[in-house]
Amino acid sequence: GENVEQHPSTLSVQEGDSAVIKCTYSDSASNYFPWYKQELGKGPQLIIDIRSNVGEKKDQRIAVTLNKTAKHFSLHITETQPEDSAVYFCAASKQSGGTASKLTFGTGTRLQVTL
């Protein structure tokens, strides 16, 4: 089955700096890669996703890149703010026919943005 590895497990940056979280996956058939943000006491919230037919996607201060050949994808947060502090999870799945399929999650990265 799919295996997703995520690094680093913890990341501390100063406010205004950039943060990068990296993930690798094992199943070359995986074609959908979402990123989730989980704040304390809450469920994971989808923040951005990318499909295997594109290499990069941006949404304001957040961007995700995908390298299908190397089977890795990354989350980039620019101009970090204290409210970005949370645990971030990457995930991968093999989507076909428009039906939902299971996500395999990474182990999470605890991001702390300091003042």
- Decide whether 5 or 56 has the Cβ nearer to other proteins: 5
Residue whose C-alpha is closest to residue 24's, from 33, 16, 14: 33
Is the torsion defined by CA of 14, 71, 53, 2 positive or negative? Answer: negative
Residue with tokens 């089955």: 1
Q: Which residues pair with 13 in a beta bridge?
A: 113
CB of 79 to other proteins, least distance (A): 26
Q: Which of residues 10-49 bind other proteins (CB under 8 A)?
A: 32, 34, 36, 42-46, 49
CB of 78 to other proteins, least distance (A): 23
CB of 93 to other proteins, least distance (A): 6
Q: Binding to other proteins by residue 58, rule CB under 8 A?
A: no
Residue 71 falls in which region: left (phi positive, over 0), alpha (psi -120 to 50) or beta: left
How many angstroms from the chain centroid is the CA of residue 29?
18
CB of 99 to other proteins, least distance (A): 5
Q: Which residue type sits at 106? A: G
User: Applying CB under 8 A, which of residues 51, 56, 67, 82 lies at the interface with other proteins?
Assistant: 51
Positions in the binding site for other proteins (CB under 8 A): 32, 34, 36, 42-46, 49, 51, 89, 93, 95, 97-108
